[in-house]
Each structure stands twice: as structure tokens, then as C-alpha cells.
Amino acid sequence: MTSPLSRSLLNELREYLRESFGLDFQEKMENDLIRYTMLAAKGFGYSDTSQFIQQLIKNKHYPTEPGKLASYYTIGETYFMREKKSLDFIEYYYLPPLIQKRFDKCRNLRIWSAGCASGEEVYSIAIMLSRTIPDIQNWDITLLGTDINTEFLKKAQQGIYSKWSFRNCTESFRDRYFERVNGNEYHIRPELKKMVRFSYHNLVGGSLPGVDDKKAGMDVIFCRNVMIYFSRETIRNVSERLFDSLVNGGILVVSPVEMSTLISPRFNKIFYSGYTFYQKEKKKQRTKKETVENEFQTVTPPPVIAPPGGSGQEENDPLPDIQPVTEKNPFLLAKAAADSGSLNDAIRYCDEALKLNKTDYRIYYLKATVLLELGREEEAMSTLNQLVYLEQDFVLAYFLLGNINMRSGKISEGHKHYKHALKILSKLKPEEELPGSEGLTIGRLAEIINGIGV
């Protein structure tokens, strides 16, 4: 007979998953947690889910098949050329001067996709390198894809994909870098496949490439859409460890939906086209005011090496432009202050910006998100209400209003806002980017809201 899952056992399981993998199953995700655990119990041959959990917790320090266990609790949503602006930044602005510098010396590069899922991200990087480095066969390239889900890793190693993985790419891109087999399978070309090495690696507690293996550190670490599943504390700790894994000058690339204020403050920030990149560099001591204003470090564009034959998304993609910086613009100062974690300064700059322009909804949105970070939920709600008065279709505001209400136990009010958000989203194209979201697509936000179970 199956014993019912007790609250205390579920809490122990939550703690176990947080400690072992960093995965943070908050209370609102309890139904998912139970569902995944029932499947995992079955997969490990248990008919009683409680017994399975007890066994897991008992063997905490000697887990059997952690990669198989993780496969029940992780989400591997990914596709080729995802968040292409961050790939553009690396391809057009970060790599060319580095390649030039290393050309006469060591001719090596080390790039790590941490949380690579089924491999689309790391193969996108292989493609990018193959067209950025003309004599790539003479280079010593380390391109590492790691994950805790061994099912995803098996798929990554095979390098075989369906059309769905190319939902952000043109057909000509797909046909250039993949071989079509059996009508609907796409095999990554062998010369690209052999550039990549995959292995199991747990970001929470696993040894660090470039630190523990005594090799040189990583030049670039992609860790996109991974830390969104972690608790605040884990994000801070993991980003500290990733910092240690980089060479001086190396870059950490995260997704724009990540909680940027929690990333280690040891990084310098680079702003580019609405995205924030994190660079490891020795910082000189600065005053607080300088810290905020100097956050506007932008990259100086080096001579661009044009990709032979297209970049992946659009055949004639215009080259990405560096956003102009106006240091006296209080809205930009507010953004920089928020990104650097100076939240009270960010509020002050938002208020200054609102004095100059009371109708710019972006200022209200930024102010609301910062107020939320500060735990000032009532004020955040009133700011969001001002925002939707001005901009009735600004979907992210309804999403945040939904979150705040749900958190404070006002479930039906929360659902009302989520439903309103879904209604607006249903009129838009899923693949398009959500205005004001810095990279989140319409479809992804709808998935997130539906995942909450409205």
C-alpha cells in the first residue's frame, strides 16, 4: 500500500533537492514537485513514493545515479541560436580582439556551456566559432557542455535534433550546419560535433573546470536559463564559483530573465543592446557614486569579422549596435544602479526620471521591480497600477501583479491578473520578444504563467 506524502517529508525532499542540485521548488510548485517525485519513484522501481523519498534522504551523501535522479526534476527547454543577441556580443565584440591577441601566441580558447541541456546552446557556440576563426583547425579549442541531467547529455552527445530545435533559425542555417536524415532528423555535421565535449557536472558543489583541474580558466562561460531555478542564495554562491572559473577578462553570459542583482558583485558589468554581461576583471576601488555612474561601461567595437554566409536567424541580420550611453539620463542611471544592486539609488533615479517624464511606462516598470527586490510590495503594486493606467497592454505588469497577489495569499486576485496577462499574450506571436523584458519571448511568458497553473 502507498503511504500518503506528509508535509514534513515533502519539506525534507525540498531541502534535499536544494542542497544537492540547487533546485528551488517553492510552495507554489508543490504539484509539480509531487508529480515529478511520483515519476522518479516509479523510475527507480519504488511503488511507494514516501519510501522512495526516505531512501533518498537517507543516502544523501551517497546518492545513486544523481544524473538519473536529476532527469526527473529538471526542465531542458532550449533551442539553437537562443537569445541570439548574447551570441552576437561574443561573436562580434568579445571574440575578435581576443582571437587577434592569441593568434600569434597560444591559439587557444576555452568556452563552457554550464547547464547545456540537450546541446543546442553549445553546438550554436561551435557554429559561431567555426565561422569566426578562419584557421580553426590550428587552434586548441576547449568547448565543454555540462549538465546534471544525464538523459539530456545522452541526447546532446548524439547531436540529432528535430525541427522544433530550430524554431529560432532560418532553414538555410539549419541546412548549412546539419545533415537531414530519414526525412525529419537533423544531425550536427561531424566537424562541429567533434569540437564539443560533454560531461556530467553539478554547478552546486561539483569541482570547477579551470580551477580544480589546474588548467587555464574559461574565457567564456554560458550559464543561461539555469540559475532561474535556483534559490537566491544558490545564485549568489554559484555565480561566485563561476567567477573563480574564468580567466581574468573572461565573460559570464546569463539570460536576461536571470535575477541580475544576485550575480556576484565581483563582476564588472558590460551593457550591450539591452543585455548585461559579467566580466571578471580586477576592479580598482571606486566611490559609491562612481560605481553607479561607471556601470555604463560599454564595449568599444573592434573591427567586425563578418560571418561567411549568414548568422543564423535572419540572412541579412544588421550588425548589432552598441547602445548609446547618456550618463545624465536618470532612467539609464536607474537601470545601472539596479543592475549593480544599489537599489535605493535606483529608486531615487527612477523618481528623478519620473519628474522629467511622467508618461514613460518603462520607468514605472523598473521602479516596481526594484521596489519588489526591496520587499516593498505595497508600493510596487501601486506603481504597477499607475503603469497599467498608462499602458493597458503592458503584460509584464499584470504578471508581476499576479505574482505579488499570489505571494500574499490573494489567490483569486492573482489569477485574475495572470488571466489578463494570458489574454494579452494570446493576441501576440509566441516567438516575438516581449517589450521591456530584455529577451523573454511571448511564448515563454505564457508557458511560465500556464506552469503556475492558472
The residue ranges that bind ligand SAM (CB under 6 A) are 21-23, 74-78, 82, 115-117, 121, 147-149, 152, 202-204, 224-226, 229
Q: Which is nearer to ligand SAM, 53 or 238 (CB)?
A: 238
Phi then psi dihedrals of residue 225, to 5 deg: 60, 30
Helix or strand or coil: residue 93? helix
> CB 50 → ligand SAM: shortest distance, Å?
25
Q: Which is nearer to ligand SAM, 17 or 333 (CB)?
A: 17
Q: What is the rounded distance in angstroms from the CA atom of residue 302 to the CA atom of residue 424? A: 41
Q: Looking at the chain, how many residues does it have? A: 454
> CB 184 → ligand SAM: shortest distance, Å?
22
Q: What is the rounded distance in angstroms from the CA atom of residue 306 to the CA atom of residue 362? A: 34
> CB 265 → ligand SAM: shortest distance, Å?
22
Q: How far is residue 199 from each of residues 103, 113, 305, measured CA to CA in Å?
A: 29, 11, 32
> CB 321 → ligand SAM: shortest distance, Å?
24
Bridging pattern class, strands 196-200 and 140-147: parallel
Q: Which is nearer to ligand SAM, 392 or 450 (CB)?
A: 450
Helix or strand or coil: residue 130? helix
Q: What is the DSSP string of 362-414?
A: HHHHHHHHHHHHTT-HHHHHHHHHHHHHH-TT-HHHHHHHHHHHHHTT-HHHH
> CB 278 → ligand SAM: shortest distance, Å?
15
Q: What is the DSSP string of 297-364?
A: --PPPPPP-PPTT--SS-TTPPPP-PPP--TT-HHHHHHHHHHTT-HHHHHHHHHHHHHH-TT-HHHH
Q: Which is nearer to ligand SAM, 149 or 340 (CB)?
A: 149
> CB 256 → ligand SAM: shortest distance, Å?
11
Q: Which is nearer to ligand SAM, 152 or 267 (CB)?
A: 152
Q: Which is nearer to ligand SAM, 116 or 338 (CB)?
A: 116
